[in-house]
Amino acid sequence: MSEHPSRLVLVINCGSSSIKFALVDEQRSGFVLHGLADRLGSDEASLRWQQGDGTTSRQERPLGAADHRQAMEALLPMVREHAGDRLTAVGHRVVHGGEHFTAACQIDDAARQAIEQASALAPLHNPANLMGIDAATALFPQLPHIAVFDTAFHQSMPAHAYRYAIPEALYAEQRVRRYGFHGTSHRYVTGEAARMTGLSPTDSGWLSAHLGNGCSTCAVQDGVSRDTSMGFTPLEGLVMGTRSGDVDPNLHGFLGRTLGWSLEKIDAVLNRESGLLGLSGLSNDMRELEQAREQGHDGATLAIEVFCYRLAKSLASMCCALTRLDGVIFTGGIGENSPLIRARTIAHLGLLGLALDEEANQRCVRGVAGAIERTAKPHGAHLTVPHNVHILIVPTDEERQIALESLACLDAESQADIHADIHADKQTDRGF
């Protein structure tokens, strides 16, 4: 047993009308406390929370017309009661760090300003994240507040992966480039995959597929992101719940000319009416689509086929970013729970020598992690990879990753302070 009590981090994920929170113990899985304040800014704001590992029932309390600050105030006594003096930091999820942030950082005036500047790139998300930061720093002024960015993990991408083939001035002046998102999740699951397979995170290559309402793939070599499917915005890449993913960029001009649609209308259609919902004409929810497919619904069947084919195509193309492939990882609500989607996707990747163990595939659902690859070489495979490639189900845990990155950031800063002090002492010794 460690003689030091384990540290707790309050993780805050703030949306425009909601605050998701989790109290994370660095040494224990699950949450000490977690919950959601939502409908903030309306007359029906409410706070729901649950203690520990979910054995206690979920509790709820109306918050009237609370705003972010008032919701945070309602949380405060609860957090104090559960954390006592072990609360070490507040970790804030921030969606966009632009090119400024390549790692988590402690929030001071300069960092806050840089997050505000990156709002131009994420106008729906960063202002909401800042509301959470302002409310929490006012209520916990004595604690360090750390920002953990969705984009930071992908700042390691090489220019040939992040640049678009458009005039250079658009990059230099407007910062138009590929940023990538879901970085916290891709980082967490690839680290866990290395741990599960006994490989070193800094000497292994992974393809990760985060499949939730938003979906993205990522190529992670030796612990760093080398490419990812989302780009300047989270619209690029895969088919998602309501987002189209990649379309021909000329589509905008065509829709404007032939239907008279404004850019706002086209944005709304591609972001909120497309993807699984648009293709199926039925739903953006994969569970509902799987049921409809069972009953012979053509739209649902097509939506699932397009989803899986495009996902497989993205995974195959991501191989270009790796020097070796140790495994393909499925995570997110769909990746963690849908044997059908995993099987349909892997069926397109036979040329990589990938094949599923169907029994293991069925078993890994509802939070069960594990390897689901068939170990024997599949019949008819033309190309084989030089060693066994795993197919892994790894439940993501973005809150834990945010907590661990927050603590790592604090530890690195205190190490840097110690080094600076030693350096200053040495200089004093030398009479400087």
Residues that bind ligand AMP (CB under 6 A): 212-213, 241, 285-287, 290, 332-334, 337-338
Q: Find the shortest distance in angstroms from Cβ 204 to ligand AMP.
A: 24
Angle between helices 298-318 and 286-294 (to 10 degrees): 120
* Active-site hit among 38, 150, 326, 397: 150
The one-letter amino acid code at 326 reads: D
Q: Find the shortest distance in angstroms from Cβ 99 to ligand AMP.
A: 27
Give the nearer residue to ligand AMP in terms of CB position, either 257 or 366: 366
Q: How far, in Å, CA of 359 to CA of 346, rounded?
A: 15
Q: How far, in Å, CA of 186 to CA of 191, rounded?
A: 8
Q: How far, in Å, CA of 209 to CA of 161, rounded?
A: 18
C-alpha count within 13 angstroms, C-beta hemisphere, residue 162: 21
Give the nearer residue to ligand AMP in terms of CB position, either 213 or 271: 213
Give the nearer residue to ligand AMP in terms of CB position, either 204 or 401: 401
Instruction: Say what the alpha-carbon torsion angle 401, 406, 408, 409 is, to the nearest 10 degrees.
Output: 140
Q: Find the shortest distance in angstroms from Cβ 363 to ligand AMP.
A: 13
Number of Cβ within 10 Å of residue 225's Cβ equals: 23
Give the nearer residue to ligand AMP in terms of CB position, either 91 or 212: 212
Residue 130 in contact with residue 112, Cβ under 8 Å? yes
Q: Find the shortest distance in angstroms from Cβ 307 to ligand AMP.
A: 10
In the complex, residue closest to ligand AMP by CB: 333
Give the nearer residue to ligand AMP in terms of CB position, either 133 or 392: 392
The set of residues, in sequence order, having a beta carbon less than 8 Å from that of 326 and lying 6+ positions away, is 193, 194, 197, 199, 204, 205, 206, 387, 389, 390
Separation in Å, CA 175 to CA 100, 126, 263: 11, 16, 20
How do 19-25 and 8-14 pair as beta strands?
antiparallel
How do 327-331 and 370-371 pair as beta strands?
unpaired
Q: Find the shortest distance in angstroms from Cβ 6 to ligand AMP.
A: 27
Is 150 tagged catalytic? yes
Give the nearer residue to ligand AMP in terms of CB position, either 231 or 241: 241
Q: Where are the beta strands (DSSP E) in 212-259?
A: 215-221, 224-228
Q: Find the shortest distance in angstroms from Cβ 427 to ligand AMP.
A: 52
- Catalytically active residues are 150
